[in-house]
Amino acid sequence: MSLDSKVPSGPMEYRWTKYKFESKLVNPANKRKYSVIVVGTGLAGAAASATLAELGYQVHSFCFQDSPRRAHSIAAQGGINAAKNYQNDGDSIKRLFYDTIKGGDFRARESNVHRLAECSVSIIDQCVAQGVPFAREYGGLLANRSFGGAQVSRTFYCRGQTGQQLLIGAYQALSRQIGYGKVKMHPRTEFLDLVVVDGRARGIVVRDLVTGNIESFSADAVLLCTGGYCNTYFLSTNAAGCNVSATYRAYKRGAAFANPCYTQIHPTCIPVSGDHQSKLTLMSESLRNDGRVWVPKSAGDVGKPASQIPEDARDYYLERMYPSYGNLAPRDIASRAAKYACDDGRGVGHGGRGVYLDFAVAIKRDGRDKVAEKYGNLFEMYERITGESGYDQPMRIYPALHYTMGGLWVDYGLMSNIQGLFVLGEANFSDHGANRLGASALMQGLADGYFVIPYTLANFFASAKKEVLPTDHPEFKKVESEVSENIKKMLSINGKKTAVEIHRELGKIMWDNVGMARTKSSLESAISQIRNLREEFWGNVTVPGSGADLNQALERAGRVADFLEFGELLARDALTREESCGGHFREEYQVDGEADRNDEKFSHVAGWEFTGAFSEPIRNVEPLSWEVVQPSVRSYK
């Protein structure tokens, strides 16, 4: 397998401009002749569907929710980055580019990141034109706040509900095209498999989640905008329905899966409170602008009310360890620091797995009303979940799985190694390296959907032979048959464990062995345990009901089956990458508690190639070249 990035030549700052100018075009009348399948309706999917339909393409949009508005992008809270420099504090496209490369621990493709920084400026203008209600300063300009890994204020926000407001903007653009008849919307429809003929994506096989009907759709191109794979760990900040199935099944059809071991653990989440939980809740990173993170200096003070621990007995460990960035240290670093404090016996709350996020100083300085103006809905959410007021006492937070930087491999044009299969947003690997900076996920999703894919898809259409296969083609029928047989197999097992029970066991294996800290022995143990659990799944899972109607147990079982296979791939990638970088932290490779990269051996993208359900996959490599930013020790001290 060849992983050719197809990055344009020339100076970095002109590559995207050069690509756009040199791209082949499809004239407006001919665009109507092309059809596009878009799977997913989050920011990347909704933006892509709306934009492509506006240009004239025939678009079929699919989501398993009852409405596109229920996509998980709605859960993003803190903001979206853009190099507008409204604060006049030294920001620029180049600085956003540099911060993103450094934040990703020098494991991202430079050219893609620079394009992202360039597009960021246009994203804000587009969203304002759509009516997204960004916060504003006294003079009327859009307000900004800081996020981790940056020393400038470049994050635009709508209180603590930025993802919701941005998704509403994209949704209204999508709804407009649905109303015009240019987008055919398919809600409550789950992607089950990709159809590939002669090395080109030709369509998809889906299941109607209400009727159980299995159906095929054919098109000139397929876009996967299906998010990340955090729920491999069972407990994460992702919605319970988020899954890896679309990208993993594309991987089984020949798409390379890149850097699956790059998982992000967010430091600012409500801690686990018991085994009853099906997911965890994020408290936005924006809270660390004004909230101070601390634990007791002495384990003897653990258990005391926070108000009874005097100032000189508190350890504001992020401010102590990383004075240049303080409480806004990047997510991977802040997460590990919280873990170390709790491992030292100084954690607070249930099981000693929590640290304080304290707003007392901000409330005293600015007043409670000002704090509520910026973060009020987050405080309300925290109180509803915990029964405690973050105004009257410190919040308790602890790291949790939140985002994944790995995903299907794509070239500069966002096309996978399968011709005609494009991958957008969190589902691809391209922009964040080994650690995503806060407020950059929304930026990537909208950049890919609004500004990148219209050019790259047109260039593909104009360069490739137009040929849409009918859905009665033998390959479509073959994939439909395979999908149906897999469903029948799961329904016929009649074991004693539910898919949820097995998923919970997988999550414990992943968190304990492939979580914040990984070792050779823990990863080898994870691979062995996952294989055993996989065998148990196919011999002892129970899936009640049938495949001929609404069956959420069947939906869950199919997704858990994919998590079980993918979890092994994730652990294998982590085992092979013998270094620490960003969210991938191998305890054998560290210097004074910080990640120890091995640029000589691992300055590359690892793209895994499927060779069979029980065979070891092939590890392919795309070398990373450094032309503008030279890798250095990643320091936030």
Average pLDDT on 163-176 reads 97
Pairing assessment for the beta strands 214-218 and 200-208 based on DSSP bridges: antiparallel
Coil, helix or strand at residue 429: coil
Please report, for residues 196, 197, 199, 477, 603, the alpha-carbon distance to residue 474 in angstroms, rounded to integers and kept in the order given: 11, 10, 15, 5, 42
CA distance 234 to 499: 11
Is residue 155 within 8 Å of 441, Cβ to Cβ?
A: no
Using alpha carbons, select from 290, 263, 453, 261 the residue that is nearest to residue 357.
290
**By CB neighbour count within 10 A (0-12 exposed, 13-18 middle, 19+ buried), where does 537 fall?**
buried
Average pLDDT on 393-420 reads 97
Please report, for residues 257, 433, 601, 602, the alpha-carbon distance to residue 3 in angstroms, rounded to integers and kept in the order given: 11, 17, 18, 16
pTM over 0.95: yes
Q: Confidence band (pLDDT; 50, 70, 90) for 353?
A: very high
**pLDDT of 541:** 98
Average pLDDT on 491-501 reads 97
Decide if pLDDT at 239 tops 80: yes
Q: Confidence band (pLDDT; 50, 70, 90) for 593?
A: confident
Residues paired with 38 in a beta bridge: 61, 223
**pLDDT of 495:** 97
**pLDDT of 97:** 98
CA distance 263 to 404: 4
CA distance 434 to 15: 24
**pLDDT of 429:** 98
Decide if pLDDT at 344 tops 90: yes
**pLDDT of 45:** 98
Decide if pLDDT at 51 tops 80: yes
**Model confidence pLDDT, tens digit, residues 103-118:** 999 999 999 999 999 9
Q: Confidence band (pLDDT; 50, 70, 90) for 311?
A: very high
Decide if pLDDT at 442 tops 80: yes
Can you read off the two tokens belonging to residue 502? Answer: 């097995």
- Cβ-based neighbours of 391, under 8 Å, separated by 6 or more: 359, 363, 368, 371, 372, 379
CA distance 426 to 403: 8
Is residue 487 within 8 Å of 541, Cβ to Cβ?
A: no
Helices (H) and strands (E) in the chain, counts: 18, 21
Please report, for residues 118, 261, 397, the alpha-carbon distance to residue 406 in angstroms, rounded to integers and kept in the order given: 22, 7, 25
Is residue 265 within 8 Å of 400, Cβ to Cβ?
A: yes
Average pLDDT on 325-347 reads 95
Average pLDDT on 393-422 reads 97
**Model confidence pLDDT, tens digit, residues 32-45:** 999 999 999 999 99
Type and span of the H or E element at 39: strand 35-39
**pLDDT of 249:** 98
Q: Confidence band (pLDDT; 50, 70, 90) for 532?
A: very high
Can you read off the two tokens belonging to residue 444? Answer: 């990537």
- Cβ-based neighbours of 178, under 8 Å, separated by 6 or more: 184, 185
Using alpha carbons, select from 317, 243, 233 the residue that is nearest to residue 277.
233
CA distance 230 to 434: 15
Q: What does the H/E/C string look like for 543-598?
A: CCCCCCCCCHHHHHHHHHHHHHHHHHHHHHHHHHCCCCECCECECCCEECCEECCC
Decide if pLDDT at 613 tops 90: no
**pLDDT of 457:** 98
**E strands of 336-477, at which residues?**
355-358, 395-404, 407-408, 421-423
Decide if pLDDT at 480 tops 80: yes
Q: Would you please indicate which residues are annotated as catalytic (active-site) residues?
A: 331
Q: Confidence band (pLDDT; 50, 70, 90) for 350?
A: confident
**Model confidence pLDDT, tens digit, residues 261-282:** 999 999 999 999 877 888 999 9
Phi, psi (deg, nearest 5) at residue 545 = 85, -160
**pLDDT of 562:** 98
Decide if pLDDT at 614 tops 90: no
Around Cβ 501, how many Cβ atoms within 10 Å? 14
Is residue 436 within 8 Å of 403, Cβ to Cβ?
A: yes
Mean pLDDT of the chain: 96
**Model confidence pLDDT, tens digit, residues 556-571:** 999 999 999 999 999 9
Please report, for residues 96, 229, 336, 438, 512, the alpha-carbon distance to residue 260 in angstroms, rounded to integers and kept in the order given: 25, 9, 20, 20, 17
DSSP one-letter code for 497: B
Please report, for residues 13, 303, 414, the alpha-carbon distance to residue 93 in angstroms, rounded to integers and kept in the order given: 9, 47, 21
Average pLDDT on 472-478 reads 97
**Model confidence pLDDT, tens digit, residues 540-556:** 999 999 999 999 999 99
In degrees, to the nearest 5, what angle opens at C-alpha 444 toward C-alphas 442 and 446? 70
Average pLDDT on 281-306 reads 95
Decide if pLDDT at 438 tops 90: yes
**Model confidence pLDDT, tens digit, residues 20-29:** 999 999 999 9
**pLDDT of 592:** 86
Using alpha carbons, select from 122, 144, 134 the residue that is nearest to residue 169.
134
Q: Confidence band (pLDDT; 50, 70, 90) for 492?
A: very high
